[in-house]
Amino acid sequence: MMKKIVLLILLTVISASVFAQNKKNVLALTKLQDYYNAGKNDSIHGMLSESFQQKVSPAAMHQLLSTFQKNFGNFTSFSFVEGQDGRDTFIGTFENGRQNIAVYVNEHNKVAGLLFKPIESDEPAKFERNSTKLQLPFDGEWMTYWGGTEKRQNYHVTTRVQQGAFDFLKLGKNNRSYQRSGTRNEDYYAFGQPLYAVCDAVVHEVNTGVEDNRPAIMNPSQPLGNSIMLKTANNEYIVYAHLEQGTIAVKAGDTVTKGQYLGNCGNSGNSSEAHLHLHIQDGPNLMTAAGARCFFEEVMVNGELKQDYSPVKYDRVSAPEN
């Protein structure tokens, strides 16, 4: 998973030095605000410079903005913060949160640089860890590639909503995650592996229809890929990301039981190879919720049985044998 969920990446380096708000940038952001609230995503794409458009397709723009609109709602206002090197930074206020917005308009009055970055909430999380008893979401032994509370163990900790996230890989011969050349998804041991509900829950949300990536080619415009969000009786929201296209077997509103099949591990979304991303958050909104640590009731860790355990980087984990 990417380190931070953002609307767009800044695509240009500016040479001129300006330390006050630029009228062109203000006008562009005002127009963008109007188009955004009207759902005119193609019009926003038309505001971009030619080089920017080559980097961000209309389909990717639509996906990014639709996700943003769903989570944040209408764009109500913005205020100037600072200007430097031709780029102005604003605080944008939305119905469901605030964003730092950086804008640069070039000499042709086209948007050549644009960055939306969340302003991290200072509200405490509703809970720090799960209270619902959980089991592992897969069969057999998997390796924890990212997990833990320190950045060196788990890059997810730098993002509020992914504080306790895991990335799980499945290893094979020579401790590699793939066989043969590793150029096809089918070469990866995790690809196509069944995934299960970690507890009894209600399916809160399902995203489908995202193609699996070719290995090493990522899809940041649809970061979760095919995904499932479960809601527990304790209002914990459990996110499964990067599932295989066409395999999700549940829909929003379904009730699932612990151990029920949900879909297959895949390589969709912001993923470079087949793996399972799993995390818990304290609300349904991926852009405003806080993440929580995830502990499993019983788990074999490097061959040793542990109880109420949260895996860390390089742990090899599996369910205890009955």
Secondary structure element (H or E) that encloses residue 28, with its range: helix 23-38
Looking at residue 290, what is its pLDDT? Answer: 94
Residues 6+ apart with CB under 8 A from 296: 134, 135, 136, 198, 308, 309, 310, 311, 317
Residues of the chain with pLDDT under 50: 1-19
Domain residue limits, the chain: 23-118, 142-318
Amino acid at the residue 21: Q
What's the rounded Cα separation, in Å, for the pair 238 and 236? 6
By the 8 A CB rule, do 111 and 104 touch? yes
Amino acid at the residue 109: N
Instruction: Domain 142-318: give its CATH superfamily.
Output: Glucose Permease (Domain IIA) (2.70.70.10)
By the 8 A CB rule, do 267 and 238 touch? no
What's the rounded Cα separation, in Å, for the pair 238 and 215? 26
Structure-block tokens of residue 194 = 């069944």
Q: Is the pTM of this model over 0.85?
A: no
Looking at residue 220, what is its pLDDT? Answer: 84
Structure-block tokens of residue 291 = 């993440």
By the 8 A CB rule, do 143 and 170 touch? yes
By the 8 A CB rule, do 116 and 68 touch? yes
Q: Is 234 exposed, middle or buried (0-12, 13-18, 19+ CB in 10 A)?
A: exposed
Nearest in space to 115 (alpha carbons), one of 103, 128, 98, 105: 103
Q: Indicate the fold that domain 23-118 takes in CATH.
A: Nuclear Transport Factor 2; Chain: A, (3.10.450)
